[in-house]
Chain A
Amino acid sequence: MNMIVLEHYLLVGAILFCLGFFCVLTRRNAVAVLMGVELIFNAANLNFVAFARFGTLNIDGIMFAIFIIMLAAAEATVALAIVLNIYRQLDTVNLDEADLMKG
């Protein structure tokens, strides 16, 4: 009766992770890279919840996903603060131009 099994959710998670990874690797804008990181967080969360439903992880998977969302919120706030500071110092948020620490 139920044709949607664990593998389908894992595949959606894998595609989402790869898109986020591609975003992190190729974007020049620091805020766009942060969006890629959020996609990766969501892919991991989807896998946790899928294993909570179909596997033996049970409700612990949902608890893990809640803590991951909490950490993603903390990460986004601090990263945005750092990006704003870089913009104030260097007048750009392009990652390849912020190279003050390069020897």
Chain B
Amino acid sequence: MLLAIIFTIFAAITIISAGMVVFSQNIVYSAFSLLFTFFGIAGLYVLLAADFLAATQLLIYVGGILVLLLFGVMLTHKIHEVNLSNESMRLAPAAIVVLSFLGLLSIVVYRTQWPTVPVPELTPTTARIGTLFMTDYLLPFEIASLVLLTALVGAVFIARGRVKK
């Protein structure tokens, strides 16, 4: 019973703030609503017994990606414009497409016989994740570090502008 209440609270936080991200007229409000969406998702991860992933979600999404998006908002608006506009376009066709897709997804979710197993005991996952990174997932782990390095160098190269000689 308690779990159901907590799940409902976190799901409501996630979905309502995601709705504010999508429908807010001010892009700064959208960015700050995204903070609460990430927070709600982290809560759902805790309910799903993914403790390490919840901490990662908070550190990387809230501490990294959200700050980056706010930098993007601030740097791409002329500072004297008071209303940071956040217009939408072609709302009606997009609403039709998205609502029909949502209907399709809910039919799929409820009609399919999902292969579920009995829910295992709550155990900390961090040690197992660390072991897997160094054994089964060693190659993806190394490729991930290469991808991050490439993204870092590429982002600096793209964003620095033209160098004057």
Contacts and interface: CB of A to CB of B under 8 A. Distances in A.
A84 B18 contact: no
A72 B75 CA distance: 21
A9 B89 CA distance: 31
Contacts, number: 215
B97 A80 contact: no
Contact of B102 (A3, A14, A87): A14
Contact of A66 (B18, B91, B129): B129
Interface in B9-52: 11, 14-15, 18-19, 21-22, 27, 30-31, 34, 37-38, 41, 44-45, 47-50, 52
B29 to A, nearest CB: 11
Count chain B CB atoms within 10 A of each CB in A17, A74, A87 and give the residue with the most: A74
B7 A35 contact: no
Interface string A69-86: 111111111101111110
Contacts of A16: 14-15, 18, 37
Main secondary structure of the interface of B (DSSP, over half): helix
A26 B88 contact: yes
Interface of B: 1, 3-4, 7, 11, 14-15, 18-19, 21-22, 27, 30-31, 34, 37-38, 41, 44-45, 47-50, 52-53, 56-57, 60-61, 64-65, 68-69, 71-73, 75-76, 85-91, 94-95, 97-99, 101-102, 105-106, 109-110, 114-117, 119, 125, 128-129, 132-133, 137, 140, 144, 147-148, 150-152, 154-156, 158-159, 161
